[in-house]
Structure 1
Amino acid sequence: MVGLGITSRNRSEERTGFQELSPYHPTYDLQADFVMVYGIDETMPDRIKQWRDKGYIVHLMTGVSWGEYQDYLNGKVDGRAHWDEAQRNSKGDNISHGIDVPYMVPTIAFADFLTERIRVAVDAGVESIHLEEPEFWVEGGYSDAFKREWEIYYREPWQPPHETEDAQYRASRLKAYLFTRCLDRMCSTLKEYAKVTYNRNIRFYVPTHSLINYTQWRIVSPESRLLDLPGIDGYIAQIWTGTARTPNVYEGIRKERTFETAFLEYGIMQELVRGTNRRMWFLHDPIEDDPKHTWKDYEQNYFQTVVASLFHPHISRFEVCPWPSRVFNGKYPREDELGRENIPADYATKLLVVMHTLGDMDQKRISWREHHLEVGILLADSAMYQRKIPELNSVHGSTSNDLLDWSPFYGLALPLLKHGLVVRPVQLDNIKRFPAYLDDYRILVLSYEFMKPESPDLHNSLAQWVLDGGILIYVGDGSDGFHQVREWWNHGKRKYLSPAEHLFESLGLRTSLTEGSYSVGKGILAYFPIHPASCAHERVKANRLRDMVKDAIGSVDDVHLEWCPTNAFVLERGPYVIASVMDESYHQEPVVLSGSYVNLFDANLPIVHRITLYPGDNILLYDLTAIEQELQLIAASSRIESISRTDKGFEFVARGPENVNGIARFRCPQRPQKITIQDKVHNDGAKFEWDEPSSTLCIRYANNPTGVHVKIYW
């Protein structure tokens, strides 16, 4: 937010943005910093102009794996039909996003087609281009185009991916390569075009689901491979209720765990930019793609994703809403099931308060209220390559639900997260890219039962990390059928039954170990020889995993390594207090926060002094004791601009979407006598309230994107 004498942050910082397909309309003018105009049809240049004329920095977003590309498919672009490039499953059916909108195999021809379509946006002057969702479904890999790519890449005849683990693994790795090639070609070509034609630097970003979600949903995408492309400037982490409410299993119970799943999803996306100069925006969605839920359901899940994202303080930029037109103008089921209704007024105001608060999350002071130990769970892109069990060699007799739950990963993550460890998914592939990548961690958990290391030199770096004092917990029984794929650990002079054997040897240990802890230099390897999925399905196994982590921590003489089990996380980011209390945890006791706060999840921005959070509750607060100025904006459901102080008081301009209630709370040096809103005098308290103990003023007004001029008189 802003203080005295400082207007709203400059839009050029691009801290908040949203994507929208529809033309400009004042009912969803969110007053964020930038807008991503969606789609590259003939209306694109006009839509770009409309939003730019309203003061926005304008980006373009378009799908890179699907879209309204019928001219290309039907041969109108180059005289050749391209339906053979549609992603196709083993039954011969196209995998589609809609009628005549198939997911595409990213061939060279398709990349060049998209490049020419997007060139128009460069000519229209957009600042950045977002190439959304490079997605290749695990069920795909049967179209003629993919078969051709297989033969070029592997120099061998195509194999049906469903027949063996090896064919499935190789097919998925090829899918990731094809989208990496596509993005590299497009970004490089268009960056050069913008530079040569306009002497202008244009940025490219990839909005993408998390590695966790794509793996669980059985989709292959480049993910960390994009770090190797100089033409990619960053990402949008597409995490929202729709991804985070995907059910998983914890201690044998399968259900939605939105907060915990979102916490892990945002965590792995953070790893795509940590230690680089690339940019990341975390996305939230006030609703989701599924239109069958009530506003109450959307609100509860939205707050869980917002809070989960704020526990990752390395990221302070946000896509505050995809498709605001469907949020602020859409209708969804009523609680009484009697028809549908527009967004409740209170929820609309809450959303705007949160959205504008998110623009102030670049805070220097970051601290946990209580001690929390961080533990990393290593996760590799190759997890996406193992998401179809071959029909001729089923592993563990897995059912479809077993596969979709992705219990091997959640079996490692949830038992630790639910008991108060700050679980950070750590990108295994980045160990090669960044020499000091693991320096921030003392404890790592690893299993190769649901992913594989793509090169042996990863183990050299891991071994050195352990030798220098790291604690590595390895969980796995060697039963995964994908250990048999043609890879580096089973070819050459020495052949290993699994990559874990090579890891153990790199640590100076035997390739075959029994359960227990082993000293390695200054560090420890703790070995738990079970399949990690059993830690999701059996409470006894989850407890054994927790005990192994505790024992490993206890064996190291370091006062900073202490796990204090708890059911809550409370983090301070500058004046903001973010808190969450988990259910199914170490205990079910509530958490009480005492102090002087403004509740930012309440449309009235009330002053609160005692808040009791029960399991399942989440909150975002402003700590009034952190205010350092006598005149300070605390929160608002509008973009507050042109704050200026006079001898008689102060004034500002508020901008926000029409038909949404405006509210702002300020710390003031003295009690106001009256205010004017658009030059209309108010002195009866209907439009403003003064709280004497906190010296704060709450003002109410009707939002308008053209600006509401408010003056406060002492």
Structure 2
Amino acid sequence: MAYIRSKTEELTGYQASGTFRPSVDLGCDFVMVYGIDDTMPERIRQYREKGYVIHLMTGIAWGEYQDYLDGKWDGRKHWDEGQVERNGAGVNHGVTVPYMVPTVAFSDYLTQRLKIAVDAGVEAIHMEEPEFWDRSGYSEGFKREYEIYYKEPWRPQHEDLDVRYKSAKLKAHLYCRAIDRVSAALKEYAKVKYGKDLRFYVPTHSLLNYTQWKIMSPEAALIGISSVDGYIAQIWTGTSREANVYDGIYKERTFETAYLEYGVMQELVKGTGRRMWFLNDPIEDLAGYTWENYRYNYVKTATASLLHPYIWHYEICPWPHRVFEEKYPKLQPRIAEKIEDGVEIEESKMIPQDYATLLSGMFQLFGDMEQADFSFEGVDANIGIFMSDSGLFQRTFPDGIVTGESIEGRLRRAMHKNSGNAVDEGEAKALMEEIQADESKMKDFVQSAAFPQFFGLSMPLLKYGLPVKPVQLDNVRRFAGYLDDSCFLILSYEYIKPEAPDVNASLVSWVRTGGTLLYMGDGSDPFHGIASWWRQSGYENPAQHLFELADMERNPEDGCYPVGKGKIYVWNLLPARICLSGELAREYRELVRGALKACEIDWQYRNDLTLHRGPYIISAVMDESVNEEPKRFEGLFADMLENDYRIIGYKEIGPDENTILFDFSKIAGEEFRVIGTSARVEKAEPSESGIRFRLKTADNIRAFLRVRLPRPVSRVSGTDEDGNPVSVSMEWEERTRTLLVSYDSHAKAVEVTAQWV
């Protein structure tokens, strides 16, 4: 029955470092108790007593690991294993908390510490954020690892392309090794000592975000670790508001970026049988924003996450204590300060009641997303843009490739939204024109967080209603038939590289059986020149090998080339240039639309993405699109973004707006169904005289339940778990045969009894 389930399904959960309190009794399935300090066993006990399935989460790249650093664990100090920048500065998460080089000794230390959690009876362990910063790589610990791995003397990564690429690749490998070592050892420990099958997960940012932020991390490579059972896609406002350039304008595009981030993470579990939770955060790590800003962006990311119907597990909220117990906005003297370091100001206030209730409803809604029946309006086909872990390895050019002053500061000042800067429109436009005309500035733009090579390919399509998704190039050689459900794919080796020749062989094989590939690129990426399999085989870049396998010239002109039953389109253009020019974006869109038409896919430009997912309609209307027309829905709906799940016959949303609707036409034959609730429905027991619900939600929430019933209700009453009466309001809605009840929650279970008319 919708919404009524066992917590052992683990559909929804959150991570928390604090002790249990009524404010965080959010009615999800499991809790990831965070950290392995001395308080961990007691925190596990508290949450378990409240009925939650217990997991353990801690950081694999950083944490309060002073006993290891100071030598108390094994008698040897390990401070030289902290990540270090070129200038000798440490890369730290806090004053005494360095990001680590994950050595074998560090992996063994984490394993030993985490055995305490296994002894405490946790069902699963999450090792989060395996992060090695691109700008680091100069510590003694990393130098040792470099020399062991490559069997050659360490060299500074800023010296040339080869050492830059090799250093970055090693950074991701070291965390892959650490995860493999820790997960296998802990699983063995749990099995031998307790006869228990411990599960192991990796919460990680998306490949898209790590590529933007220049953080080396294993992403698709995690698929090769058999002891990893799944992942959490750590996507939220803080990652998705990273600005990009579209039509020459540099600004935040939270919804579109989040949609692409969730999309690439979906690929980590495709065809593997592993678990993926999508994270949503009601606020973010930076404390200086208003509640209004947090809510605006939360709706964007939540909507984006629901537009990926193959995932139906969610981390509903990281750090709920900070959401429901802290005041915002806070003053942050430095933008990099952690949220806990913010200082309250006169404008600071607790979470607004209506937002708290909305969140409580969303937390329950996420538990009803396993819907087998789904379809997109408009184009409903698998159309992808390739990404790869290798894109992480070429995010920064070594010295000498970018000359002159960096454009980073000017680019940030040109940011059009939420930057805190007054944007000079003329100066911003001039900068974009300079980037187009100057090769050095273009390369600096390419290595910026705007990541224009990817967004140049994705944003012009997504903005016009094509539900394009990132596709993992690495998986082409891992899984036979990985591309079988794709009809049209876009590839550029200007920002990623194929690991081996068989990647190209698989792509050409897919084309020959009927696929259509669009290749974009002008061969200008300096990383084409690294020591590589294509260079050893006599090719200037990997695209030449791809084309030759397809019986084409190595350097084909722009155009369409038949290859077996399929086609390869070629456009010799650097994708980043599409970001800067509305005319190029239009030309690119028309090329894709024509290619899709040849595949018998009719892409009609539209300004929305709309998914029908079971009885739910999830829709986002985008700005900067083909027009500013609103999206209209007619029928009989419950508005899931209204706290009372208001019944409506018509809904209209305009550009930059979202909606989630419950469509009653999809449940025409059902007599009983929970439509929406901001309290967990633990029981529903009908009888001859009425129906009784057992509801539970956090403290200080106005709880709402809308439920479809076979008969009208005359009156309702409520009693809490201590036997005290609870004032319950009710409304009967005849068109939908739904009862709406509401009451003020005080973190106690409430029995609501409704009597039939």
Match of 1:106 in 2: 102
Match of 1:31, SS?
A: coil
Match of 2:700, SS?
A: coil
Cα root mean square deviation, aligned: 1.7
Q: Which amino acid aligns with 2:388?
A: A
Match of 1:710 in 2: 752
Q: Which amino acid aligns with 2:371?
A: Q
Which of residues 551, 558, 561 is equivalent to 1:508?
551
Match of 2:284 in 1: 288
8 Å Cα contact 2:124-2:200 kept in structure 1:
yes
- 1:464-543 correspondence runs (5 A): 464-491=509-536, 494-543=537-586
Match of 2:7 in 1: 11
Which of residues 17, 21, 26 is equivalent to 2:17?
21
- 1:388 paired with 2:433, answer no
Q: Which amino acid aligns with 1:675?
A: V
- 1:651 paired with 2:698, answer no
8 Å Cα contact 2:373-2:613 kept in structure 1:
yes
- 1:326 paired with 2:345, answer no
**CA–CA distance in structure 1, aligned partners of residues 726 and 317 of structure 2:** 34
Match of 1:204, SS?
A: strand
Match of 1:359, SS?
A: helix
Which of residues 591, 604, 628 is equivalent to 2:644?
604
Would you identify which runs of 4 or more consecutive aligned residues in structure 1 move more than 3 Å? 369-374, 398-402, 679-683
8 Å Cα contact 1:352-1:637 kept in structure 2:
yes
- 1:456 paired with 2:452, answer no
**CA–CA distance in structure 1, aligned partners of residues 676 and 516 of structure 2:** 43
Match of 2:632 in 1: 592
Q: Deviations over 1:316-368 (max 9, x none)?
A: 00000000111111111399x84210011100110011110110100111122
**CA–CA distance in structure 2, aligned partners of residues 366 and 167 of structure 1:** 47
**CA–CA distance in structure 2, aligned partners of residues 75 and 613 of structure 1:** 59
Moved more, 698-707 or 461-470: 698-707
Deviation of residue 374 (structure 1)? Answer: 3.6
Q: Which runs of 5+ in 2 are unaligned?
A: 332-344, 404-438
Task: Tell me the number of residue pairs that the alignment of Structure 1 and Structure 2 aligns.
Answer: 703
Match of 2:754, SS?
A: strand
- 1:245-284 correspondence runs (5 A): 245-284=241-280
- 1:289-328 correspondence runs (5 A): 289-328=285-324
8 Å Cα contact 2:379-2:467 kept in structure 1:
no
Deviation of residue 681 (structure 1)? Answer: 7.8
Deviation of residue 613 (structure 1)? Answer: 0.7
**CA–CA distance in structure 1, aligned partners of residues 2 and 385 of structure 2:** 38
Which of residues 343, 354, 367 is equivalent to 1:359?
367
8 Å Cα contact 2:639-2:648 kept in structure 1:
yes
**CA–CA distance in structure 1, aligned partners of residues 487 and 377 of structure 2:** 21
Q: Which amino acid aligns with 1:465?
A: W
Q: Deviations over 1:263-318 (max 9, x none)?
A: 00000000000111100000000000011111111111101111111111000000
8 Å Cα contact 1:89-1:140 kept in structure 2:
yes
Q: Which amino acid aligns with 1:2?
A: A
Q: Which amino acid aligns with 1:223?
A: E
**CA–CA distance in structure 2, aligned partners of residues 33 and 375 of structure 1:** 34
**CA–CA distance in structure 2, aligned partners of residues 562 and 390 of structure 1:** 44
8 Å Cα contact 1:655-1:704 kept in structure 2:
no
Match of 1:210 in 2: 206
**CA–CA distance in structure 1, aligned partners of residues 699 and 392 of structure 2:** 44
- 1:58-457 correspondence runs (5 A): 58-333=54-329, 338-394=346-402, 396-398=439-441, 402=446, 403-457=448-502
Distance change >3 Å, CA 137–CA 590, structure 1 → 2: same
Deviation of residue 249 (structure 1)? Answer: 0.5
8 Å Cα contact 1:569-1:579 kept in structure 2:
yes
Moved more, 83-92 or 161-170: 161-170
Match of 2:702 in 1: 661
Moved more, 35-44 or 399-408: 399-408
Match of 1:641 in 2: 682
**CA–CA distance in structure 1, aligned partners of residues 595 and 356 of structure 2:** 48
**CA–CA distance in structure 2, aligned partners of residues 681 and 164 of structure 1:** 74
Match of 1:563 in 2: 603
8 Å Cα contact 1:466-1:472 kept in structure 2:
yes
Deviation of residue 161 (structure 1)? Answer: 0.7
Q: Deviations over 1:61-118 (max 9, x none)?
A: 0000000011111111111110110000100111000011000000000000100010
Distance change >3 Å, CA 155–CA 569, structure 1 → 2: same
**CA–CA distance in structure 1, aligned partners of residues 589 and 518 of structure 2:** 11
Match of 1:562, SS?
A: coil
Q: Which runs of 5+ in 1 are unaligned?
A: none
Match of 2:699, SS?
A: coil
- 1:613-628 correspondence runs (5 A): 613-627=653-667, 628=669
Deviation of residue 421 (structure 1)? Answer: 1.0
**CA–CA distance in structure 1, aligned partners of residues 223 and 330 of structure 2:** 45
Q: Which amino acid aligns with 2:5?
A: R
**CA–CA distance in structure 1, aligned partners of residues 130 and 726 of structure 2:** 54
Q: Deviations over 1:103-144 (max 9, x none)?
A: 000000000010001010001000000000000000011001
Match of 1:582 in 2: 622
Q: Which amino acid aligns with 1:389?
A: F
8 Å Cα contact 2:60-2:129 kept in structure 1:
yes
Match of 1:692 in 2: 734
- 1:544 paired with 2:587, answer yes
Match of 2:340 in 1: none
Match of 2:635, SS?
A: strand
8 Å Cα contact 2:237-2:283 kept in structure 1:
yes
Match of 2:560, SS?
A: strand
Distance change >3 Å, CA 172–CA 500, structure 1 → 2: same
8 Å Cα contact 2:401-2:440 kept in structure 1:
no
**CA–CA distance in structure 2, aligned partners of residues 478 and 540 of structure 1:** 22
**CA–CA distance in structure 1, aligned partners of residues 671 and 592 of structure 2:** 48
Moved more, 458-467 or 669-678: 669-678
Q: Which amino acid aligns with 1:420?
A: G
**CA–CA distance in structure 2, aligned partners of residues 127 and 681 of structure 1:** 37
Q: Which amino acid aligns with 2:651?
A: I
8 Å Cα contact 1:373-1:421 kept in structure 2:
no
Match of 1:42 in 2: 38
Deviation of residue 622 (structure 1)? Answer: 1.1
8 Å Cα contact 2:255-2:301 kept in structure 1:
yes
**CA–CA distance in structure 2, aligned partners of residues 422 and 129 of structure 1:** 34
8 Å Cα contact 2:402-2:444 kept in structure 1:
no
8 Å Cα contact 1:599-1:608 kept in structure 2:
yes
Q: Which amino acid aligns with 2:474?
A: D
8 Å Cα contact 2:90-2:98 kept in structure 1:
yes
8 Å Cα contact 1:373-1:562 kept in structure 2:
no
**CA–CA distance in structure 2, aligned partners of residues 188 and 98 of structure 1:** 29
Match of 2:2 in 1: 2
**CA–CA distance in structure 2, aligned partners of residues 401 and 254 of structure 1:** 12
Q: Which amino acid aligns with 2:373?
A: R
Deviation of residue 401 (structure 1)? Answer: 5.6
